[in-house]
Every structure is written in C-alpha cells, then in structure tokens.
Amino acid sequence: MRDPNLNRILANRYQLQQVLGAGAMGQVYLAHDKLLGGVPVAVKLLSISIHNKKLRVQERFEQEAKTCAILGQKSIHIVRVMDYGVVEENGTPFYVMEYLKGKNLSDVIRNYALSLPRFLSIGRQISLGLECAHQGIPVDGKTYPIIHRDIKPSNVLLIQDNSLGELAKLLDFGIAKLLQADSSQTRYYMGTFAYSSPEQMEGSELTNRSDIYSLGVMLFEMLTGNIPIQANTDSFGGWFKAHHYQPPRSFETSEPKFPIPPQLKDLVMSCLAKAPSDRPQNVSEIIKVFTLLEQPRDRSLPLTTQPITPQTPSSGNEPANTIVAPQKGQLTTDAICRLTRWPQNKPIADIVFPQSIQINDEESPALWVMLSQIEVNKRLVNRTYNHFLFITSPSPMMLWITALHHRAYGTKWLTYYLDLKNSQNRDLIQSIGIKGYYRVLLFARETPQYASSCLLIHVASSQGILLQQWYLLSQSSNIHGDVQLSKSLLKQEYEKIKPQILMKLEASV
C-alpha cells in the first residue's frame, strides 16, 4: 500500500519524498525544503496525536524540540534539529533534522566486523554525545539534565566527515519522554525492551545511569554481535524479568570479534549492573577508559631541538625555498622539507606566511610558521584541521585557517589572509586545490636556520573544488574595493565558526 504521507507538504515548506526508516516512535522521511530551493532534510513524524489533548502536551512537545535543537548545537555527536510543527489534519507532531548520509550502527554491527580501534572511536563519540546531554541545558536560569531513554544501535548514525573521518551521531533525544508526557499515561512504558534499564521497565523516574545501562547493552553487542541478556519471551514481562534477574552473559561465552582488554570488559560489565548505584556514576568515567585505551602503548617521541645539517652544502646562490639534494629522490620528502632554510628577508619572530617550496623540480604549496622551540615540540603530534573562507566583495580575498590541536596543550591557530588580486596568491590556492594537500613547515626561533618539523595537511575534496572555483572567480573579477573591509568581514565569519571547529577537534582527540 502506498504511504499516504508521500508528497505531503508540511508547514507549507517540507515536501515528504520517501521513507528513510521507522520505529516505535514514528517514521523518518527524506523531504525537500521548498523554502530553501529543495535542500534535503529529514522529517520525523511522531507516533502520537496531540489533538484534543491538554495544551501542556503541545507546550511540552515544543520544549522537547527546542531541547534537541540546543543539544545539536552543543555537540557534533547529536543530530541537529532545525524546525518542528504539527500536521494540521491529524495533530501529528513532527520535527525536522539535518539530513545526513551514513550507515546505521545496527546495520554496521550486523554486516561488518568492528576492529578494536573502530569500536573505541565509535564508543567514545557516542559517550561524548551522552555526556553533553547529561550535563544539561539552561532553562530560565537553571540547568536541566537530558536523559535519552532509548539508547540503541538504530539510534546511532555513522557518517563520513571530510575532516574527522567516521563521525557518530545520536538521534531522538528527549522524544521518549515527550511520548510519555500525557498524565493519563503515568507509568506507561516507552522504549526498546532489549536495551531498557531495570528501573525503566519499572516506570521509575530515570537518571543518567539508566542511559549508561542501555549504553552497556549496546557496547556488549558491538563487541560480540549479540546482546548480553535474552528474555525467554519477547514480551514486556519476559524482558522485565531478564533485566531484573538474569545476569549478563560473559564475554568468554559470547565469541567476541577480537581480544578485549580487561579494562574494557570491566567497564561494560559495570554499566550492566542491576542497581544504578553500582554503575559508573557518569559518562565522563566511561570516556576516560575509552581515551586511555585509544592511546598507543608508547606515545613518547624524541623531541629534536637541533636542525638537520645538510649532507651536501649548496653553492649559496639558490633562493631560500629551493632544496638541493645530492641526487634526485635520494632524500625523503620529509627530510627535504626539514632542510628548508628560513628566508633571509623574514624576521626571526612568531609569524605565519605562505610560500611554495620546490621539491625535486616540483612546486609544493606550504605554510611557513615560526614559534618558540617549546611550542614547536608541542606540535609534533597533533590533530589537524583546515578550512578556507572566501569573499568576492568589496575585494576578493581568502582566509586560510589551519588548526593544530593537542588535548593537553590546546589549539594553535594559524591564519593568513590572501589577497586574491595578487596572481601569486591565486596560483597558490589553485595548487592546493589541485594537489589536495599542503605542508606546514615549523621553525623554532632558537634555531631558525632550518625547519624543525614538517606536517602534511590534507584538504577535503569539497574544499579543493571550492579553491579552484575561487581561483577562477578572482581571476576574472574586476572588483578592487576596500581590502581591510574584506579582512574584517572574513574575520567575523571566522569567529562564528571557530567554536564549531574547536568542538570537532575536541570530539576527535
């Protein structure tokens, strides 16, 4: 039977196109936002009606939708809610989410074998989303913790982010509570039997430790392919008994997909404790274990404070950004970069500037950076992020943003404004766009003659395409307006996106 909701237009704006998924709480549709020219969004129609119900139910729905929107702004591991409303014909509430292409975690568990590093990454990211919600949101001067109430693999979406790789996002925050909002449904159960905590099955008021129990069930399933508890009958009564009285099966009898570290076994089993007081008290404790297990056994790296001495002296007549190797191809690219000399026309000071380097007759885009030796040492092992902002008017200009992030040392921001009326700057951004990478050469003030370190920074393919488009736009532009105003406008945009970049970097460490 054809779905009657297909092609329906909600709020004179969202046209439903196809079903993306369905569950106990409703159906999710791919829709086109007609107001924004057909931009794809995801719309969830909830499985309740609020016609002829008390006004407070609709008010509660609006509050829950706003809660989801706020959480999506606070964490990249929570799907962002952008709008909400009620279908006029039948009183069905709906909310509009960002549309993301990815895999459902339940499908990944069923069809793919997770490795330990991938498990730890996904588990940590899910926990970061939960931690954000449990820390709460401000309402009328008070902070209210948000409990998910339906943590399970089908409520986790895995997407590919151009900068961060695989990114886990949680769905449906606050919705289970919304569906229990009617006072006539006091103690009415809403959730998923296999993942519900004992206290949730009782209809008790829930705390963050209920989500931790559900997380434990999901983590066990990710590790073994099976849930840790199995009811005799797939009924409320059967699952009530199982969660209250059945001990979780051991990892040894569940055929895990890889050897599980003892700390991880202990963590998952503690999450599955029947009594909330016996579980981890907050998600932060879980994140600490994931973070510890993700660290390599030995992360200590020797910090070189002396520059590499060239094996073959140059004639002294070559320009500062040319490297002379004894034989072409004899030195590695990294070694060649570290033999790069600091330009004589640049001060010995903390500065950033772009300048291509020539490696065996090939131009390679690079960002030159001078810092203190201590700061250079801090940046040898970092998470990197890059972004580019462009403006055509009042004068064509690009802001080149590079961030080097370390959890212990914080973020070092490297920014440079490129005036794209300059042909050399245009050639540089075209080169980055075509090659899909650039290098960051780190020089220490104390030993400035040669580069102390060289970082290879990859550029997302979508950004590379934009750089080539900006090259063409600026090349054909006849606009010659206020350069300082262009810089000011770009800086304003930079300050807006900076918190989002930081959030991504913190989530990926």
Give the DSSP letter string of 272-298: T-SSGGGS-SSHHHHHHHHHHHHS-S-
* Tokens, residue 137: 């949101």
Looking at residue 216, what is its pLDDT?
Answer: 97
Instruction: Please indicate if the annotation marks 504 as binding a ligand.
Output: no
Residues known to be catalytic: 150
DSSP of 162-194: TTTEEEEEE--TTHHHHHT-SGGGTT---S-GG
Q: Is 407 helix (H, G, I), strand (E, B) or coil?
A: coil
Q: What is the mean pLDDT of residues 276-280?
A: 96
**What's the token pair of residue 340?**
């790069």
Query: Mean of the pLDDT values across residues 256-273?
Result: 94
- pLDDT at 51 exceeding the cut of 60: no
103 dihedral zone (left: phi>0; alpha: psi -120 to 50; beta): beta
Q: For residue 151, what pLDDT is reported?
A: 94
What mean pLDDT, rounded, does the chain reach?
82
Is residue 70 within 8 A of residue 162, CB to CB? The reply is no
pLDDT at 303 over 70: no
Confidence of residue 257 (pLDDT cuts 50, 70, 90): confident
Residue 306 confidence (pLDDT)? 29
User: Coil, strand, or helix at residue 442?
Assistant: strand
Q: Is the pLDDT of residue 180 over 50?
A: no
Q: Output the pLDDT for position 311.
A: 30
| pLDDT score for 292 | 85
- Six-digit token pair at 179? 């569906």
Over range 115-122, report the average pLDDT.
92
pTM exceeds 0.85: no
User: How crowded is the C-beta side of 102, counted as CA atoms within 13 Å?
Assistant: 25
Could you report the per-residue pLDDT of 361-414, keeping only the tens digit for each? 788 899 999 999 899 888 888 888 999 998 887 888 999 999 999 888 889 999
> Does residue 482 register a pLDDT over 70?
yes
pLDDT at 505: 82
For a pLDDT cut of 70, what percent of the chain falls above it? 83
Left if phi > 0, otherwise alpha if psi is -120 to 50, otherwise beta: which for 133? alpha
Predicted confidence (pLDDT) at residue 236 exceeds the cutoff of 50: yes
pLDDT confidence bin for 264, thresholds 50/70/90: very high
Structural domains of the chain, ranges and CATH numbers in brackets: 1-99 (3.30.200.20), 101-181+192-295 (1.10.510.10), 333-508 (no CATH)
Q: Is the peptide bond before 394 cis (omega within 30 degrees of 0)?
A: yes
**Do residues 251 and 224 make contact, with C-beta atoms less than 8 angstroms apart?**
yes
**391 Cβ neighbours under 8 A, 6+ residues apart:** 397, 398, 486, 489, 490
Instruction: Determine the 3-state secondary structure of 313 from DSSP.
Output: coil
pLDDT on residue 338: 67
Is residue 174 predicted with pLDDT exceeding 70?
Answer: no
Instruction: Tell me the Cα Rg of the chain.
Output: 27
In terms of Cβ atoms closer than 10 Å to its own Cβ (0-12, 13-18, 19+), residue 406 is middle
User: Are 42 and 33 contacting, i.e. CB atoms less than 8 angstroms apart?
Assistant: no
Q: How far apart are CA 429 and CA 486, in angstroms?
A: 18
Which helix (DSSP H) or strand (DSSP E) does residue 371 occupy? strand 366-371
The reported pLDDT for the residue numbered 218 is 97
Mean pLDDT, residues 293-307 taken together: 43
pLDDT of residue 193 exceeding 50, the answer is yes
Residues pairing with 41 in the sheet: 31, 98
Conformation bin of residue 26: beta by default, left when phi > 0, alpha when psi is -120 to 50: left
pLDDT at 298: 38
Q: Which residue has the higher pLDDT, 174 or 136?
A: 136
pLDDT confidence of residue 310? 31
User: 144, exposed or middle or buried, with CB in 10 Å at 0-12, 13-18, 19+?
Assistant: exposed
316 — pLDDT class (breaks 50, 70, 90):
very low
pLDDT at 334 (0 to 100): 66
CB 366 within 8 A of CB 400: no
DSSP helix/strand/coil, 216: helix
What sign results for the dihedral spanned by CA atoms 246, 248, 253, 254? positive
Give the separation between CA 495 and CA 286, rounded to whole angstroms: 32
**Res. 53 pLDDT band, cuts 50 70 90:** low
pLDDT-derived band of residue 57, with 50, 70 and 90 as boundaries?
low
Q: Which has the higher per-residue pLDDT, 394 or 214?
A: 214
Reported as a single tens digit per residue, the pLDDT across 22-48 is 776 678 999 999 888 888 999 988 876
Distance (Å, rounded) from C-alpha 217 to C-alpha 228?
A: 6
Q: What is the largest CA-CA distance in the chain?
A: 89
Is the confidence at residue 425, as pLDDT, over 70?
yes
Residue 270 CB partners (closer than 8 Å, separation 6+): 216, 278, 279, 280
147-165 mean pLDDT: 86
**pLDDT value of position 58:** 63
Q: Which of 82, 207, 75 is nearest to 134 (CA)?
A: 207
On the question of pLDDT at 418 being above 60, the answer is: yes
pLDDT, residue 79, reads 87
- Residue 275 token pair: 């009594």
Q: Taking residues 113-139, what's their average pLDDT?
A: 89
Look at residue 302 in the predicted model and tell me its pLDDT: 31
At residue 326 the predicted structure's pLDDT band, cuts being 50, 70 and 90, is: very low
pLDDT of residue 194: 95
pLDDT of residue 188: 55
